[in-house]
């Protein structure tokens, strides 16, 4: 399991940081320690710090290589939200106090992140059953256990296929001893999910689908957030959309907007909007997935696909309720019908709204065949299983990086 920093440790550091800021503030200002302004500023800062610490711990729980740049938006959202709420209710506090607290908190969070990510977690595995190839999993240093003895190296966990019939009483006793020594023991399926960000679908059972039910309450909150965020972004997005439409029109003949039926939540079809990035009549011979170096893509199309500008008209799909900002990418019905025949449980991805960006897009990229699509679906299942604001926030941060780097575009 991917280790995350102790929340208690972070909160204790937050209290210490607040006391330091209070001391420095009192040294600069000639003010009584129990002045309401000092107390309010300390409580506001501590609340913002705690909110940020919880958010960062949840972000770091998710698999994949995280960047310290993900820390900055989390701090900004935590402090600005608390700051705004208290400003609206006219609570007296010091702006400089909260700002200084936020800056020092950022230094602490980034420094702690860098320190913890210097070392890859070391885990031992029992080479039996599905765990026999555990050393192929990423983001960990693996130590093979040929016998029921702990290795000389320090390890953070032991991984085994706990359902394997090859797990003899000797191995079972060994695992029990590891637990008594305080060494965590994990099932290989749990570790696969944690380290790869994928939920395997080849060996799923009916009762596994129950764990993939997204919380209904967050689905309602997510719809509200989608509308608010899109409305806030439209004043900035509309001028960019206008300029994009002009260059698409000038570059090649055909309509500026490309519309197509896609399969959405519940398997219902809807009309998706995109800026045209291919030559007119590019699918005259039938629907086909885009490939690397696809000759159907125009010169401008290559740029707007790489920067995701071609997706901006989908803001209107989001306002209509067809899509969400974050979710599995919608596919054409012809591909959905094909993948339903070859990929188990494929249709289950339609339990949530499709998204402008998603977990599969920011971790795997574009899928151009059935094998890649199966991996993509496993990422989609992970997203559905861990459906939450924290994961949506991480995907949003990663999406910004993708827009800047062009990762996964075709």
Same domain, 246 and 336: yes
Identify the DSSP state of 209.
Answer: G
Among the ranges given (110-124, 205-219, 261-275), the one the predictor scored with the smallest mean pLDDT:
205-219
* Cβ neighbours for 78, distance < 8 A, ≥ 6 positions apart: 48, 49, 51, 52, 55
The predicted model gives 379-398 an average pLDDT of 89
Identify the DSSP state of 157.
Answer: E
> Above pLDDT 90, what percent of the chain?
30
202: in domain: no
Tokens of 32: 């009584």
Same domain, 131 and 48: no
Residue 324: half-sphere exposure toward Cβ, Cα within 13 Å? 26
**Planar angle of CA 181, 186, 188, nearest 5 degrees:** 150
**Considering only CA atoms, which of 128, 241, 199, 201 is closest in space to residue 379?**
199
- Between these two residues, 175 and 405, which has the higher pLDDT value? 175
Same domain, 58 and 159: no
Is pLDDT of 307 > 80?
Answer: yes
Round to whole Å and give the CA distance between 53 and 119.
21
SS3 assignment, position 39: helix
* Cβ neighbours for 253, distance < 8 A, ≥ 6 positions apart: 280
163-177 pLDDT, tens digit each? 888 999 999 999 999
Same domain, 38 and 145: no
- Between these two residues, 410 and 295, which has the higher pLDDT value? 295
Same domain, 312 and 354: yes
Q: Of 86, 116, 146, which residue constitutes the final position of a domain? A: 116
Same domain, 253 and 341: yes
The model's pTM: 0.77
* Cα distance from N-terminal residue to C-terminal residue, the chain: 33
8-58 pLDDT, tens digit each? 788 888 899 999 888 888 888 777 778 888 888 889 889 989 988 888 887
**Predicted pLDDT of residue 1:** 46
Same domain, 224 and 152: no
Same domain, 184 and 249: no
**Predicted pLDDT of residue 292:** 57
> Above pLDDT 70, what percent of the chain?
88
Tokens of 380: 């989609």
Which stretches of 167-309 are DSSP H helices? 169-180, 188-196, 216-251, 299-306
Q: Of 161, 196, 231, which residue constitutes the final position of a domain? A: 196
**Predicted pLDDT of residue 231:** 95
276: in domain: yes
Q: Of 69, 97, 116, which residue constitutes the final position of a domain? A: 116
Round to whole Å and give the CA distance between 391 and 355.
13
Beta strands in 55-203 (DSSP E): 122-125, 141-144, 157-160, 185-187
257: in domain: yes
Is pLDDT of 210 > 80?
Answer: no
**Predicted pLDDT of residue 169:** 92
201: in domain: no
Is pLDDT of 209 > 80?
Answer: no
Tokens of 59: 């972000």
Same domain, 268 and 318: yes
**Predicted pLDDT of residue 288:** 57
**Predicted pLDDT of residue 322:** 95
166: in domain: yes
Q: Residue 389, Cα to own-chain centre: how many angstroms?
A: 9
- Could you tell me the CA-to-CA distances from 57 to 3, 260, 285 in Å, in that order? 10, 40, 49
Identify the DSSP state of 120.
Answer: P
Same domain, 263 and 393: yes
The predicted model gives 335-344 an average pLDDT of 86
Identify the DSSP state of 343.
Answer: S
161: in domain: yes
Tokens of 279: 């030559």
Dihedral sign for Cα 353, 354, 355, 361, please: positive
Read off the pLDDT band of 64 (50, 70, 90). Answer: low
H or E, element range at 273: strand 269-275
**Considering only CA atoms, which of 355, 387, 393 is closest in space to residue 77?**
393
Longest dimension (CA), the chain: 79
- Looking at the 3D structure of the chain, how many domains does it have? 3
Same domain, 139 and 108: no
69: in domain: yes
Same domain, 140 and 276: no
Q: Which domain holds residue 28?
A: 7-116
Is pLDDT of 323 > 50?
Answer: yes
Is pLDDT of 159 > 50?
Answer: yes
Q: What is the 3-state secondary structure (H, E, C) of 276-291?
A: CCECCCCCCCCCCCCC
- Between these two residues, 89 and 266, which has the higher pLDDT value? 266
Dihedral sign for Cα 75, 363, 353, 192, please: negative
Round to whole Å and give the CA distance between 113 and 146.
34
**Predicted pLDDT of residue 2:** 46
Is pLDDT of 149 > 60?
Answer: yes
Is pLDDT of 296 > 80?
Answer: no
The predicted model gives 365-391 an average pLDDT of 84
Taking all residues of the chain, what is their mean pLDDT, rounded to a whole number?
84
**Predicted pLDDT of residue 295:** 66
Round to whole Å and give the CA distance between 53 and 252.
50
């Amino acid at each position: 399991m991917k280790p995350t920093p102790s929340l208690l440790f972070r909160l204790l550091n937050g209290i210490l940081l607040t006391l330091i800021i209070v001391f420095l503030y009192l040294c600069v200002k000639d003010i009584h320690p129990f002045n309401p302004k000092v107390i309010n500023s300390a409580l506001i800062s501590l609340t913002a710090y705690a909110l940020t610490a919880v958010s960062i711990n949840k972000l770091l729980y998710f698999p994949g290589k995280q960047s310290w740049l993900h820390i900055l938006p989390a701090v900004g959202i935590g402090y600005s939200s608390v700051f705004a709420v208290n400003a609206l209710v006219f609570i007296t506090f010091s702006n400089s106090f909260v700002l200084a607290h936020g800056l020092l908190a950022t230094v602490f969070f980034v420094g702690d992140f860098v320190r913890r990510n210097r070392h890859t977690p070391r885990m031992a595995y029992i080479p039996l059953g599905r765990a026999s190839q555990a050393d192929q999993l990423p983001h960990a240093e693996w130590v093979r256990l040929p016998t029921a003895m702990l290795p000389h190296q320090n390890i953070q966990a032991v991984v085994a296929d706990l359902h394997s019939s090859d797990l003899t009483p000797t191995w079972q006793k060994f695992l029990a001893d590891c637990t008594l020594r305080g060494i965590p023991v994990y099932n290989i399926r749990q570790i696969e999910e944690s380290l790869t960000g994928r939920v395997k679908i080849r060996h799923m059972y009916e009762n596994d689908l129950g764990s993939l039910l997204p919380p209904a309450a967050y689905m309602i909150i997510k719809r509200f957030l989608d509308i608010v965020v899109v409305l806030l972004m439209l004043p900035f997005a509309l001028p960019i959309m206008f300029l994009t439409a002009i260059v698409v029109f000038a570059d090649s003949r055909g309509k500026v907007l490309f519309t197509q039926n896609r399969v959405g939540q519940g398997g219902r079809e809807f009309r998706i909007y995109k800026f045209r990035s291919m030559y007119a009549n590019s699918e005259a011979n039938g629907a086909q997935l885009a490939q690397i170096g696809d000759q159907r893509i125009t010169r401008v199309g290559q740029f707007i696909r790489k920067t995701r500008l071609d997706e901006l008209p989908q803001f209107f799909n989001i306002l209509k309720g067809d899509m969400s900002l974050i979710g599995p990418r919608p596919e054409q019905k012809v591909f959905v019908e094909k993948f339903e025949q070859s990929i188990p449980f494929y249709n289950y991805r339609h339990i949530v709204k499709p998204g402008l960006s998603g977990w599969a897009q920011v971790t795997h990229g574009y899928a151009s065949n059935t094998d890649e699509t199966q991996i993509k679906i496993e990422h989609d299942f992970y997203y559905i299983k861990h459906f939450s604001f924290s994961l949506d926030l991480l995907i949003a941060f990663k999406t910004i990086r993708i827009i800047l780097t062009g990762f996964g575009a075709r």
